[in-house]
């Protein structure tokens, strides 16, 4: 299924495109009730180092709603008695500079961050309880971990943090933009030995709630279609929307060979008579959340979206005192509630809530928005 018409390093994109087509056909329901490929694992050569980035971006573009990461063969054995497929004939491949650099690119895109840690393990940079760590070792916050001889505070590693960010219009949901536009990551609190993972994305013209966490498993579950996490939006639709239009959007329409629909559609009662004819405000809820799904659903019925704001993600609502460009970190109780919504138990045993006093933080946000943009 590789696309031989592409440059050799990009040919694996064809594989993802092929499986994406099969899964879309399956999701249409035309071929029965079975659903194929809820997730797609592709391939990119990490030995390309930083040059692997455009290939990874092409894989994501080929399946923005199903792509989850890559597979990479690293096995090698010089014994002629060992019969194996050596795709990349490189000794100690995971310790090479290019492979580690490629793994970092993959991690920075939010995929396969464990690979970078594995490369440190193979390089002998990590010790666990004064012994060299091995891939597969189980670690708890009681263990002593050293990276390059420096002790790592395990409580901080295992502590799950979540922030609610109110995205303004004009920011992109990426931490790396070649056009140097402002990004949602510019305004988040700095972290040591961890990184913020975005729970989904909002396009540049969409505003409202974005969740960020340090827990990769929590982020994956919140985004995965399996858990059907509800997203709620406030949307302004240009045009005269009647009940038949609403019924169609709730029943479902075909978007790129996949069924999509709103779970609920509620007309905003606060709109004036004039707005009801020309600019209709709605609160809509959907489960899952594919690329630009809200806009594409309304556009499928001939309507134009002039405003779109996310106001809730699962059990978390965007509080009115969190101003655009500001964030609020969730308390331990709120993080555990969020984890429970996707059947993930999050433990804070032996850890204090470093987020600070919630009442104090909220008071500051209400008064002057202290969680503000970095200058």
With a pLDDT cut of 90, the percent of the chain lying above it is: 30
Which has the closest alpha carbon to 320: 163, 162, 164? 164
Which has the closest alpha carbon to 90: 134, 49, 133? 49
Give one DSSP letter per residue of 39-97, joined into a string. SEEEE--GGGGGGGHHHHHHHHHH-TTTEEEEE--------TTS----SS--TTGGGSH
Q: Which two tokens stand for residue 189?
A: 């609190």
Query: What does the pLDDT average to over 217-222?
Result: 88
Decide which of 209 and 116 is more confident: 209
pLDDT(275) > 50: no
pLDDT tens digit string along 70-129? 888 777 667 777 665 656 777 777 778 888 888 777 766 666 545 557 767 877 888 888
> Considering the entire predicted model, what is its pTM?
0.60
Phi-psi region of 163 (alpha: psi -120 to 50; beta: other; left: phi over 0): beta
- Annotation marks residue 361 as catalytic: no
Structure confidence at residue 375 (pLDDT): 35
Structure confidence at residue 84 (pLDDT): 57
| Burial status of residue 188 (CB atoms within 10 A of its CB: 0-12, 13-18, 19 or more) | buried
> 3-state class of 333 per DSSP?
helix
Structure confidence at residue 311 (pLDDT): 96
Q: Compute the CA torsion angle 300, 301, 302, 304 (nearest 10 deg).
A: -80
pLDDT tens digit string along 23-75? 878 777 777 777 788 788 899 988 898 888 889 888 888 887 788 888 887 77
Structure confidence at residue 371 (pLDDT): 46
Which has the closest alpha carbon to 255: 64, 24, 39? 24
CATH class of 162-368: alpha beta
Q: Catalytic one among 143, 186, 203, 247?
A: 203
> 3-state class of 366 per DSSP?
helix
Q: Are 25 and 74 within 8 A, CB to CB? A: no
pLDDT(243) > 70: yes
Structure confidence at residue 273 (pLDDT): 45
pLDDT category of residue 233 using cuts at 50, 70 and 90: very high
Q: Are 42 and 60 within 8 A, CB to CB? A: no
Cβ-Cβ contacts under 8 Å for 212 (sequence gap 6 or more): 162, 163, 165, 188, 196, 197, 198, 199, 327
pLDDT(351) > 70: no
Largest separation between any pair of C-alpha atoms in the chain? 81
> 3-state class of 161 per DSSP?
coil
Backbone angles phi, psi at 83, to 5 degrees: -90, 115
Structure confidence at residue 317 (pLDDT): 96
Return the CATH fold of 114-152: 3.10.290
- The β-bridge partners of 285 are 232, 264
Q: How many helices (H) and strands (E) does the chain have?
A: 11, 17
C-alpha to C-alpha distances, 47 to 5, 101, 102, 107, nearest whole angstrom: 22, 8, 6, 14
Distance CA 158, CA 303 (A): 46
pLDDT(151) > 70: yes
Q: Are 223 and 304 within 8 A, CB to CB? A: no
Backbone angles phi, psi at 53, to 5 degrees: -55, -50
pLDDT(145) > 60: yes
Domain residue ranges in the chain:
1-111, 114-152, 162-368
Q: Are 98 and 128 within 8 A, CB to CB? A: no
Q: Are 251 and 261 within 8 A, CB to CB? A: yes
Distance CA 80, CA 251 (A): 61
Structure confidence at residue 169 (pLDDT): 94
pLDDT(232) > 60: yes
Among the residue ranges 52-56, 118-122, 302-306, 328-332, the one predicted with the least confidence is 118-122
Which has the closest alpha carbon to 320: 171, 111, 166? 166
Question: What's the residue count for the chain?
Answer: 375
CB atoms under 10 Å from CB of 142, counted, come to 9
Q: Which two tokens stand for residue 109?
A: 């895109």
pLDDT(358) > 70: no
């Amino acid at each position: 299924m590789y696309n031989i018409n592409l440059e050799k390093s990009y040919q694996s994109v064809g594989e993802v495109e092929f499986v994406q087509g099969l899964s879309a056909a399956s999701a249409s329901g035309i071929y029965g009730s079975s659903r194929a490929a809820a997730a797609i694992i592709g391939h990119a050569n990490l030995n390309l180092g930083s040059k692997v980035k455009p290939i990874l971006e092409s894989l994501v573009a080929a399946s923005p709603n199903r792509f989850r990461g890559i597979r990479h063969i690293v096995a090698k054995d010089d014994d002629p008695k060992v019969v194996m497929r050596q795709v990349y004939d490189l000794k100690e491949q995971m310790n090479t500079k290019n492979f580690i650099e490629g793994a970092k690119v993959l991690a920075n895109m939010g995929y396969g961050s464990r690979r970078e840690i594995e490369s440190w393990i193979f390089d002998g940079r990590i010790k666990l309880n004064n012994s060299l760590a091995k891939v597969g070792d189980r670690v708890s916050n009681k263990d002593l971990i050293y990276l390059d001889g420096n002790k790592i505070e395990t409580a901080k590693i295992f502590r799950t943090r979540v922030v609610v960010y109110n995205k303004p219009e004009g920011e992109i949901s990426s931490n790396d933009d070649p056009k140097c536009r402002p990004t949602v990551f510019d305004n988040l609190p700095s972290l040591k030995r961890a990184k913020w993972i975005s729970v989904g994305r909002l396009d540049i013209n969409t505003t409202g709630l974005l969740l960020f966490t340090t827990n990769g498993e929590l982020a994956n579950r919140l985004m995965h279609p399996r858990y059907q996490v509800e997203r709620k939006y406030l949307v302004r639709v240009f045009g005269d929307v009647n009940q038949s239009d609403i019924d169609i959007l709730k029943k479902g329409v075909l978007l790129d060979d996949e069924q999509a629909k709103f779970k609920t559609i509620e007309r905003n009662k606060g709109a004036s008579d004039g707005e009801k004819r020309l600019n209709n405000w709605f609160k809509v809820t959907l489960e899952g959340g594919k690329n630009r799904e809200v806009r594409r659903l309304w556009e499928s019925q001939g309507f134009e979206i002039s405003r779109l704001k996310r106001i809730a993600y699962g059990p978390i609502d965007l509080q009115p005192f969190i101003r655009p460009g500001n964030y609020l970190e969730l308390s331990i109780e709120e993080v555990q509630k969020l984890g429970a919504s996707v059947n993930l138990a999050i433990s804070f045993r032996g850890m204090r809530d470093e987020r600070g006093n919630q009442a104090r933080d909220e008071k500051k946000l209400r008064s002057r928005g202290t969680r503000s943009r970095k200058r």
